[in-house]
Structure 1
């Protein structure tokens, strides 16, 4: 029973078919064995065939001799029948073993034949992703259970396509509709401050509002990038130098790194320089967010260790930052939107709570993997693995 409950469906079908065939063959052989037996009728001592009886003299001696011959014949016949029964039993057991092997083979063939349409549906469903939701299985054939399953999957894909299209429209509309009022508010603040001799309270209020508008603008930008990455809307895939993106991100945050007195340790990756393929804008945002996370949530006078390399057909970006000892269970949730550890790590008002969730979405859209780990000595380690690609000149590219 455990073998039937575990394993693949094909294995279970094979065992069920084989058990059915083997059981039927066993019953058939048993019936044949029972029906092939014959019953020998013995002659009572003192009786002769054809109604003869023992007489006197020579006839009595002949009767005794005839009776002895009959008994000998009966004994020989019994021995022959016993030998035949033994041979029949041995032959039946051999036939049963052969039938067991044939039952397994035939069961596997039949199971594969029955499951072939399901495998085709599985392969076709795996091929369909967010980029080609318009495709359908369109299984032809009789209106059986397999076609009903395929039609159900097609109906599900149709609903998913409509849902993805609606969300993509929302992302496109939000990019325009939500940025317009932000730009209007910024312009109004600039007009209020630009008036002759503005009040001091007006200047202070304008500064606070401009800070909140900047924060809202970063939050909106994070939402849009997150939605774009989660829906796999990669307009183009080009070779991108991962090392170059790291250098650009560090240059952009050089002022903040110096203000906090952070020490940046660059470790060159082993192997060829790291190049990957994908959206240059999204990958640049990925590296920026990882570096920003290491700078913003670091301690004064702390350290940042960055390495980028390529091995086993994948490029690897590792960014480690110092800090207090973190709980791994909480770190595992940082890739979710608005997940934060505690106020002492996220006390900065510069963060939107979307940084690592955007990183996770971009990594997933490029077929990569993100790993977050709490460092034993304190701090956070972020590891990004992406598919490797050749540079524009056919080589690995230029390292940072």
Structure 2
């Protein structure tokens, strides 16, 4: 018997006991006040009253149970759902018992309609992820292969080679960003494509990507590797996260230096830029948020994407900043899906 029915039954039994006790005490009290012994008629009246009370209470209990039975059925069906993949077939109109009518049936129909819309939405998301993964990779692969072929042309001028290097770098960054966004679009329980890689290789690759930006602004670079950790994780994700931190550091630093330090359980980026106050720091991971509109424009998505990637891969992203002094960012991969 469901717990709700047990509670209802206990309440009705308590009511019966209380009413019966009141009736008995009242009738006995009347006899005692009148100074007369308890007559058989009084006992019979008490018995009939008690029987009537019990009968009425039992009928009330049965009626209440019959009224609440449809809602109890709906609650049982919903309680059996898997939160990740609820089975809406149990609430299909043809599977709802005839006894379920009125507001309960309307609620069941509404839940069934909501479930169908959710399933259609999830199906569209899966189709988009699959199609985007194929359709976006193809042109990027063509660009990369063509750029690699052009790079072997000995007749290229230095200016053309610099332009080609920017094209190859932008294409690599787009491939990494696409992989990261597709990872975020997938359900968390979907198996991820992972591989072993050296963190130092990723860090050095991202440093080389931003080195022209550092040189253009006259910023010094402090690169220190205290360890050489290995990770087993989705490819390019760490590059996207670190690239976002480096891009922000260069964008908001007009003079001074950028520091990058690799440890056994983290990689840190420190700059001497404009920094952020407490209000801006609290909103740093919000999509499209930009604390300072006077510096070179950006989409406002870099830190948001990096933060969500860190949550998905269990690599917490930490920020500390002081206005006018700079920002200290760290990616902690020691507690994530990693191994040294």
Same fold (TM over 0.5): yes
Written as runs of structure 1 = structure 2, the 5 A alignment for 1:153-232 is 154-168=115-129, 169-176=131-138, 221=175, 224-232=178-186
Matched residue, 1:323: 273
Question: 2 CA distance for matches of 1:280 and 1:218?
Answer: 12
Question: 2 CA distance for matches of 1:252 and 1:215?
Answer: 7
Written as runs of structure 1 = structure 2, the 5 A alignment for 1:1-400 is 25-40=17-32, 117-121=77-81, 124-126=82-84, 128=85, 136=87, 138-139=89-90, 142-143=96-97, 151-152=112-113, 154-168=115-129, 169-176=131-138, 221=175, 224-232=178-186, 235-240=192-197, 242=199, 245-250=202-207, 253=210, 260-264=218-222, 266=224, 276-304=231-259, 306=261, 308-310=263-265, 316-336=266-286, 338-346=288-296, 354-375=301-322, 378-386=325-333, 387-389=335-337, 391=339, 397=340
Question: 1 CA distance for matches of 2:7 and 2:27?
Answer: 30
SS in 2 for 1:125: coil
* Alpha-carbon displacement from aligned partner over 1:339-388 (angstroms, at most 9, x marks no partner): 433355436xxx66543233134224324543444336632233434543
CA shift, 1:158, in A, is: 1.7
Q: TM-score, normalised by structure 1?
A: 0.50
CA shift, 1:39, in A, is: 0.9
Q: How many residues align?
A: 288
CA shift, 1:236, in A, is: 1.4
SS in 1 for 2:83: helix
CA shift, 1:228, in A, is: 1.1
Question: 1 CA distance for matches of 2:263 and 2:5?
Answer: 49
Question: 2 CA distance for matches of 1:328 and 1:40?
Answer: 80
**2:255/2:272 contact within 8 Å kept:** no
Question: 2 CA distance for matches of 1:267 and 1:209?
Answer: 30
**2:317/2:330 contact within 8 Å kept:** yes
* Alpha-carbon displacement from aligned partner over 1:277-298 (angstroms, at most 9, x marks no partner): 4202223332333234334433
Question: 1 CA distance for matches of 2:165 and 2:200?
Answer: 32
SS in 1 for 2:135: helix
Question: 2 CA distance for matches of 1:288 and 1:321?
Answer: 14
Higher relative contact order (CA 8 A, sep 6+): 1
Greater Cα offset, 359-368 or 159-168: 359-368
**1:266/1:306 contact within 8 Å kept:** yes
Q: Give unmatched runs, 5+ long, in structure 2.
A: 39-71
* Alpha-carbon displacement from aligned partner over 1:293-341 (angstroms, at most 9, x marks no partner): 334433322242545454xxxxx54433221242343344444555433
Question: 2 CA distance for matches of 1:16 and 1:274?
Answer: 62
- Counterparts in 2 of 1:263 and 1:18: CA distance versus 1, 3 Å: farther
Question: 1 CA distance for matches of 2:114 and 2:264?
Answer: 41
Question: 1 CA distance for matches of 2:231 and 2:110?
Answer: 39
SS in 2 for 1:173: helix
Question: 1 CA distance for matches of 2:3 and 2:295?
Answer: 53
* Alpha-carbon displacement from aligned partner over 1:132-155 (angstroms, at most 9, x marks no partner): xxx846548754559657634541
Larger radius of gyration: 1
- Counterparts in 2 of 1:258 and 1:177: CA distance versus 1, 3 Å: closer
Question: 2 CA distance for matches of 1:249 and 1:211?
Answer: 14
- Say what the alpha-carbon RMSD is for the aligned residues: 5.5
Question: 2 CA distance for matches of 1:262 and 1:14?
Answer: 74
Question: 2 CA distance for matches of 1:390 and 1:210?
Answer: 35
List, as ranges, runs of 4+ consecutive aligned residues in structure 1 with deviation greater than 6 Å: 10-21, 206-216
